[in-house]
A and B are shown apart, each in its own frame.
Chain A
Amino acid sequence: MQKFLSIPVTGEQSQLVSANDIKLIEQFSTTVVKIFYGGGKVTSITHATAASGNEEMRDAIQDGVVSILSQRWTNVSIDLVMPKAVSEIGIA
């Protein structure tokens, strides 16, 4: 049962990010949230600068993960409203 976060990216409309097999979500810096998956894959979400110690971007993604995973299987993605503008999403 595949689930995704639908994250608006500046100039690119929205991009789907997997909500499956996530191990940990971290506010890696004031401009990057990282989603760590099983097997070592990492998705980095680059966003407008947050205040030092502020984790509202991580919290927004966590809330989205919990919400979509608790919905029925026909709800495949959830549209997230991010507190900071996202400029890039990449995976490594």
Chain B
Amino acid sequence: MEKFLNVPVYSLIMNGTSVTPVGSADLTDTGDVFSNVSVGDIVHQSTDNEYFVVASKIDNNNLTLNALDGGTAPIVSGKAFFIHSGSSYNNQLVSIGDVGLIEQLSTSTTTIAYDGPAAVDLITLVHTPVAAGSESMRDQVQEQMEEALIASWTDVAPEPVLLDYKVIGISIG
């Protein structure tokens, strides 16, 4: 009986490098690069691994942000950032067969280790952050795994209900 979680992964809209914020903006770039960005989208400042939600769009080069746990606004010049949709996603299957351990590896990563000999059998979910010391995302993944495993065998890939966090990337190895 093979089972998966059908995890929603929020789509990447654009990425870039910040310039010095202008006026009241918390994130500034040039070239009208924020034309497809909307209020509620997720900003991942990857240089320092900080997360934000777009609070308002001043124009296509300037955003104001609300920091999630650990984020510091404004984002100064020279920081790499990725903006993901806060509403649009594609689903990716993640195996829940032979799971050995699920861990809250950091505030923004949860790992699923499988009960196999290969070190590559490790899936990492990158998500909006939990509070420091919290293992809330791990707990939700565990609960959803249990729900999926007790469902009918024909229900191969239920979509998990990850109420509080949004996954922006999944990798293996």
**Chain A residues in contact with chain B, CB under 8 A?**
19-26, 36, 38-40, 53, 55, 58-59, 62, 65-66, 69-70
Other-chain residue from B11, B12, B153, B172 in contact with A23 (beta carbon distance below 8 A): B172
Cα of A24 to Cα of B95 in the assembled complex, Å: 7
Chain A residue numbers with a CB within 8 Å of B121 are 23, 38-40
Chain A residue numbers with a CB within 8 Å of B170 are 24, 26
When C-beta atoms are compared, the residue in chain A nearest to B90 turns out to be A55
A22 with B156, Cβ < 8 A, contacts A36-B172, A38-B121, A53-B12 known: no
When C-beta atoms are compared, the residue in chain B nearest to A61 turns out to be B93
Other-chain residue from B95, B114, B116, B156 in contact with A70 (beta carbon distance below 8 A): B156
Q: Give a binary string over B32-56; 1 marks a CB under 8 Å from any A CB, 0 the rest.
A: 0000000000000000000000000
Chain A residue numbers with a CB within 8 Å of B91 are 59, 62
The 3 closest A-B pairs by CB, nearest first: A40-B118, A23-B95, A70-B154
Contact residues, B1-44 vs A (CB, 8 A)? 2, 4, 6, 11-12
**Chain B residues in contact with chain A, CB under 8 A?**
2, 4, 6, 11-12, 90-95, 97-98, 114, 116-118, 120-121, 123, 153-157, 170-173
Chain B residue numbers with a CB within 8 Å of A59 are 90-91
Whether A69 lies near B90 (C-beta < 8 A) is no
Cα of A21 to Cα of B155 in the assembled complex, Å: 16
Interface centre among B90, B98, B173 (most CB of A within 10 A): B90
Whether A38 lies near B118 (C-beta < 8 A) is yes
